[in-house]
Structure 1
Amino acid sequence: MNEGLNALVYCLSLSLFCITKLRRYYMESASRPKPDRYVLVISIDGMANYYLQDPNVRMPNLRELIRSGTCAEAMESVFPTATWAIHSSLVTGNYPRKHGVLGNWVVDRPNYRVGEHFGDRMWDKQDVLRGETWYDAAKRMGWTTASICWPVTRGADTIDYNIPEFYEQELFESHCTRSLWDELKAAGLPMELYGEWSKDHARGPMQDWLTTEIAKYIIDRHSPNLLQLHYLLPDSYQHDYGVRSKEVYWSLEYVDERIGEVLKALKQKGILDKTDVIVLSDHGFVNTTRTFYPNVLFKHKGWLAQNLKDEHDLKDSRVVAVSNGGSGYVYVLEDNAGAKELLMDEVRRALAESEGVGRLFEQEDFPSLGLPAAGEMDDHCPDFAFEAEPDCFVHFDYSGDEVNTSFTKFKGMHGFLPQREELKAVFVASGPSIRPGASLPEIRIVDVAPTIARLLGTELKDTDGSELDSLWKEEVRLWSF
């Protein structure tokens, strides 16, 4: 009885402590005057660094930002090069081992199901994303914040105007900032179609158009100090048509036109000359021609339940894999330590002998990949990770009989190791704080958050990345916290 009472008192005390800290946090941010400075961050999903050197890419607005500001030689992403993990690294300055979002898909061991970060379908931001983000820091500094179609932002209470990246209309309707959603509908924007347009690649241009129209509205009516946007079309078209296809060239030009409209809206509002603009991407792309189905392999071995109804029913399976595009995570769901060790040996051998597996990684390799070490994040951390061979897509599907096929659902793919040149991303910066022509060698994607924190007049503690201090004009470099 006493133990239960003590536990209850402890929980109540902890809750009161958290509420008090949260209240103080918002009181401090509310007491700060709204600054007359602005930051715009635009993420172009899937724009490989090699497109900047491609003469077929017509992006005059981006090239003008480079001319007036600076461009990194390249930007190394994180493993796996999958959108939800990468954008979590972008906003925190940390690798997945520290921020907790290990990929688009993981296995949620306690619930014996596949865990979907993709589409923010399962979890709110505070449930999965560890560490302070740049938008958390902006709010802490008294800035107003807005985010459109940005991954891992569902339920983010430090974003004043928030439309997370969803694919289901019901999630848009239930989890976007309600007052903003109602304003946008009243303004005549087709918000009831955001879900349809998000899921249908053929109507992807409409989704990116709607993202732009929302951004223009927010700039005109609310002028947030921090605005982050995520454009999807180049990623969608590379999956559908392959890299350097005519469709992809068109998509890059289309997104550049949308960027031009956002910059024009800032100018019309009279704040463009007060806005630091960061345009970046999350990963590059390679062409794929074949598919590896690890769960079909496990089914043949008798490790995956034959009567598996769906990916949310893994209780009778001993081994399962999830795909992150050009890589996979493998989970051995065996509770008995001795039996697990024997099964691990069999799984290791089966993967090493499988066509389609390029490199196999064990838990002792994980920290070098930015993944959790043994004993960390046990609920989601895999037992093995692997990178597929360069032209191979890893598919979760378990319904067929072939482990390897000479065709693929996608013509282009990412998810491979970020050190591959084809997977390198883009970083461009321009604005009143940016030194024109600053020399930026290849940077890391985890360097972006500490750099943006400088623009907010603060810093993020204990990040894996480092501030790009050569980016600044002299007066910005001399700012102290």
Structure 2
Amino acid sequence: MESANRPKPDKYVLIISIDGMANYYLQDPNVRMPHLRALIRSGVCAEGMESVFPTATWAIHSSLVTGNYPRKHGVLGNWVVDRPSRRVGEHFGDRMWDKRDVLRGETWYDAAKRMGWTTASICWPVTRGADTLDYNIPEFYEQELFESHSTRSLWDELKAAGLPVELYGEWSRDHARGPMQDWLTTEIAKYLIDRHSPNLLQLHYLLPDSCQHDYGVRSREAYWSLEFVDERIGEVLKALKQKGILDKTDVFVVSDHGFVNTTRTFYPNVLLKHKGWLAPNLDDEHEFSGSRVVAVSNGGSGYVYVLEDDAEAKELLLDEVRRALAESEGVGRLFEREDFPSLGLPGAGELDGHCPDLAFEAEPDCFVHFDYSGEEVIASFTKFKGMHGYLPQREELKAVFVAAGPSIRPGTSLPEIRIVDVAPTIARLLGTELEDTDGRELETIWKEEVRLW
């Protein structure tokens, strides 16, 4: 590899993603996050950060690391339909695919490895099988996936050190034990810093997302979760200081999306079932070989797939499906394939294996549910009190961007940025560029000597 001839640099980058932290929390006096606010005072904070559509974790983190919209990087949401197999495709939990199978374009950690940096990642989406991560524990929910796909040498080290990695899956699945999962992520980060000091370390904290799903936005549980994560950030910064490398580390704290409260549920597949277009497989709820139309949820939005091979029959059916959705309660905005590029989704002839025929945003208090077992198309209750997945332009969905460190100009406020701008900016710190990104480097955040470097 090209990196083999490069000496390991004496500088570091830490990237922390706080899942579900809306930008509006930065202005909320009830949010006690002293470590994050200290970083803001000593560095840069954006007025907001526009995410991508759908505002779903796996698509967004793919945009974060590549600087591209889903149209280009290929991860179109947490869930898609895989047309060749006529099965629901799960990016969620990295259950089905390795990173190399689905994520297109160079990531910032690929570039870091190319530049001779050591790389580490804990609980970061779409990293299963990523061979440019020296130390990797992807975001899983099943213990067997943690055991089989985490970096074996690191996993064995952590066991020997007494860290309870055998509970990672159990703690990941159970929202009530979410604090334990984020605690374990932090303990692993501290271990890595102390024993291996990776040049690039990326961490993903999940608790604020779980608490808002369960209890809603601005709930006491949501506030507590943000404070808990801030304490974990403080521990990671302390570990860097104890190792003597904090003053050589540029720190980025970002989030992937905001949240809204939800009170209703829309079941598109029940609608399709009533129309006679969806034929459930009673033995496998994710297999749709006998169906003509199927929908998947990405929280506050949905994708609709017409599974007709004959072009003329497909167009006729598509027109009926379009009309049924437009007339249904719960659907806010409907998007045609020609609208997709403006949303950052694939255009005609692009990513046809996973690209839907229609997309829609639900009404803003409505959660889109995949389930087709019931009879109600719209219900006046919801499994989740808080949700994301809606259009990223909504103010409530705006995300957080904070940066501080030896390369960052202190006391700087940025106007609203785009989430695709983060990767080209981090690439600058690596001494390289990512080719053909949708985002742009945030040039004004650098100290003078870095901007001229």
- State the TM-score, normalizing by the size of structure 2: 0.99
1:239-260 CA-partner distances (Å, limit 9, x unpaired): 0000000000000000000000
Report the counterpart of residue 162 of structure 1 in structure 2: 136
In the TM superposition, what are the counterparts of 1:227-238 in structure 2 within 5 Å? 227-238=201-212
Report the counterpart of residue 5 of structure 1 in structure 2: none
- In 2, the alpha carbon distance for the partners of 1:253 and 1:307 equals 44
- How far residue 374 of structure 1 moved from its aligned partner, in angstroms, is 1.1
Please say if residues 17 and 254 of structure 2, whose CA atoms lie closer than 8 Å, have aligned partners that are also in contact.
Answer: yes
- In 1, the alpha carbon distance for the partners of 2:211 and 2:284 equals 28
In the TM superposition, what are the counterparts of 1:21-36 in structure 2 within 5 Å? 26=1, 28-36=2-10
Please say if residues 308 and 314 of structure 1, whose CA atoms lie closer than 8 Å, have aligned partners that are also in contact.
Answer: no
1:114-134 CA-partner distances (Å, limit 9, x unpaired): 000000000000000000000
- How far residue 211 of structure 1 moved from its aligned partner, in angstroms, is 0.1
Report the counterpart of residue 79 of structure 1 in structure 2: 53
Return the match for 2:81 from 71, 89, 107. Answer: 107
Q: Which amino acid aligns with 2:262?
A: T
Report the counterpart of residue 54 of structure 1 in structure 2: 28
Structure 2 residue 318 is the aligned partner of structure 1 residue 356: no
Please say if residues 281 and 287 of structure 2, whose CA atoms lie closer than 8 Å, have aligned partners that are also in contact.
Answer: no
3-state SS, counterpart of residue 283 of structure 1: coil
Please say if residues 46 and 284 of structure 1, whose CA atoms lie closer than 8 Å, have aligned partners that are also in contact.
Answer: yes
3-state SS, counterpart of residue 265 of structure 1: helix
- In 1, the alpha carbon distance for the partners of 2:398 and 2:321 equals 31
Return the match for 2:227 from 228, 233, 253. Answer: 253
Q: Which amino acid aligns with 1:262?
A: V
- In 1, the alpha carbon distance for the partners of 2:312 and 2:223 equals 54
- In 2, the alpha carbon distance for the partners of 1:319 and 1:308 equals 17
Change (3 A) 1:475 1:370: same
- How far residue 437 of structure 1 moved from its aligned partner, in angstroms, is 1.6
3-state SS, counterpart of residue 205 of structure 1: helix
1:57-113 CA-partner distances (Å, limit 9, x unpaired): 000000000000010000000000000000000000000000000000000000110
- How far residue 308 of structure 1 moved from its aligned partner, in angstroms, is 4.3
Structure 2 residue 337 is the aligned partner of structure 1 residue 402: no
Please say if residues 113 and 311 of structure 1, whose CA atoms lie closer than 8 Å, have aligned partners that are also in contact.
Answer: no
Report the counterpart of residue 331 of structure 1 in structure 2: 305
Return the match for 1:144 from 102, 118, 134. Answer: 118
1:218-252 CA-partner distances (Å, limit 9, x unpaired): 00000000000000000000000000000000000
Return the match for 2:398 from 424, 427, 448. Answer: 424
Structure 2 residue 103 is the aligned partner of structure 1 residue 129: yes
Structure 2 residue 421 is the aligned partner of structure 1 residue 447: yes
3-state SS, counterpart of residue 396 of structure 1: coil
- In 1, the alpha carbon distance for the partners of 2:325 and 2:431 equals 49
Report the counterpart of residue 351 of structure 2 in structure 1: 377
Report the counterpart of residue 181 of structure 1 in structure 2: 155
Structure 2 residue 298 is the aligned partner of structure 1 residue 315: no
Please say if residues 281 and 288 of structure 2, whose CA atoms lie closer than 8 Å, have aligned partners that are also in contact.
Answer: no
Report the counterpart of residue 286 of structure 1 in structure 2: 260
Report the counterpart of residue 279 of structure 2 in structure 1: 305
Report the counterpart of residue 9 of structure 1 in structure 2: none
- In 2, the alpha carbon distance for the partners of 1:335 and 1:311 equals 22
Return the match for 1:414 from 367, 374, 388. Answer: 388
Q: Which amino acid aligns with 2:203?
A: L
- How far residue 338 of structure 1 moved from its aligned partner, in angstroms, is 1.0
Change (3 A) 1:93 1:307: closer
Report the counterpart of residue 207 of structure 1 in structure 2: 181
Please say if residues 35 and 231 of structure 2, whose CA atoms lie closer than 8 Å, have aligned partners that are also in contact.
Answer: yes
Q: Which amino acid aligns with 1:375?
A: G
Return the match for 2:430 from 453, 456, 462. Answer: 456
Q: Which amino acid aligns with 2:417?
A: I
Q: Which amino acid aligns with 1:189?
A: L
Structure 2 residue 210 is the aligned partner of structure 1 residue 243: no
Q: Which amino acid aligns with 2:34?
A: P
- In 1, the alpha carbon distance for the partners of 2:280 and 2:76 equals 27
Unpaired runs of 5+ residues, structure 2, are none
Report the counterpart of residue 440 of structure 2 in structure 1: 466
- State the TM-score, normalizing by the size of structure 1: 0.94
1:128-164 CA-partner distances (Å, limit 9, x unpaired): 0000000000000000000000000000000000000
- In 1, the alpha carbon distance for the partners of 2:247 and 2:338 equals 49
Report the counterpart of residue 362 of structure 2 in structure 1: 388
3-state SS, counterpart of residue 150 of structure 1: coil
3-state SS, counterpart of residue 295 of structure 1: helix
Return the match for 1:366 from 325, 331, 340. Answer: 340
Q: Which amino acid aligns with 1:254?
A: F
Q: Which amino acid aligns with 1:201?
A: H
- In 2, the alpha carbon distance for the partners of 1:60 and 1:188 equals 30
Structure 2 residue 95 is the aligned partner of structure 1 residue 118: no
Report the counterpart of residue 317 of structure 2 in structure 1: 343
Please say if residues 46 and 283 of structure 1, whose CA atoms lie closer than 8 Å, have aligned partners that are also in contact.
Answer: yes
- In 2, the alpha carbon distance for the partners of 1:199 and 1:134 equals 28
- In 2, the alpha carbon distance for the partners of 1:313 and 1:88 equals 26
3-state SS, counterpart of residue 226 of structure 2: helix
Report the counterpart of residue 267 of structure 1 in structure 2: 241
- How far residue 30 of structure 1 moved from its aligned partner, in angstroms, is 1.3
3-state SS, counterpart of residue 280 of structure 1: strand
- In 2, the alpha carbon distance for the partners of 1:352 and 1:432 equals 53
Share of identical aligned residues, percent? Answer: 89
1:327-381 CA-partner distances (Å, limit 9, x unpaired): 0000000001111111001000000000000000000000000000011000000
Give the structure with the higher percent helix: 1
